[in-house]
Amino acid sequence: MKDTQILELYWARKEQAITETQQAYGAYCYSVAWHILFDREDSDECVNDTWLRAWNAIPPKRPGKLSLFLGTITRNLALDRWKKRHTVKRGGGEMTIALDELAECVPASVNTEDAVEAAELERLLNVFLHTLSRRDCDIFLRRYWYVEEYGEIADRFGMNLNTVKTSLFRTRAKLKGYLEKEGITL
């Protein structure tokens, strides 16, 4: 079923909308949650919460790209859940490794009191992403948005594992340089 048809079901308040969404994007949303949480139960809950959020938001919302709308909800829910879990114990899985890698991009001066606003950080990150080559940008997003493993990314793009690693290493270094140049404290 096409996105527009699914959205029409939401607007008509037909519960079939959720079934269709689950059918079309269930695996995708689960994959987004799984890569962050590395836990089946938590991922399932995140995905179910995503349907609820979507059900409550549409109407009046009419997302342009349903997949990204749902994916972003799932990602935010998964990050929230990860944070809660992380306060209790250090979580496993790819998320921890990805975070450790991203910590390399953090500029030297860390001062949470003068931390840049989230919206400003989002804007700067978008500007930075647009400066990257298409390939580097895609790899970076697959790694840090979808939290995919190196091997998975290499497989997806038909690349050598080392090429992926090198690309990410260089992009992280560029990001660090960019944030420092912009005078960002995180």
Cα 110 to chain centroid, rounded: 24
- Residues near another protein (CB under 8 A) are 10-11, 13, 52-53, 55-60, 64-65, 67-68, 71-72, 75-76, 79, 83, 98-100, 102-103, 105-106, 110, 112, 115, 117-123, 125-127, 129-131, 134, 137-138, 141-142, 144-146, 155-159, 163, 186
DSSP string of 48-107, one letter each residue: HHHHHHHHHHTTT---S-HHHHHHHHHHHHHHHHHHHHHHHS---SHHHHHHHHHHTTS-
CB of 107 to another protein, least distance (A): 8
CB of 110 to another protein, least distance (A): 5
- Sole residue written with tokens 């690309």: 167
Shorter beta-carbon distance to another protein: residue 13 or 40: 13
DSSP-derived secondary structure letter, 117: P
CB of 143 to another protein, least distance (A): 10
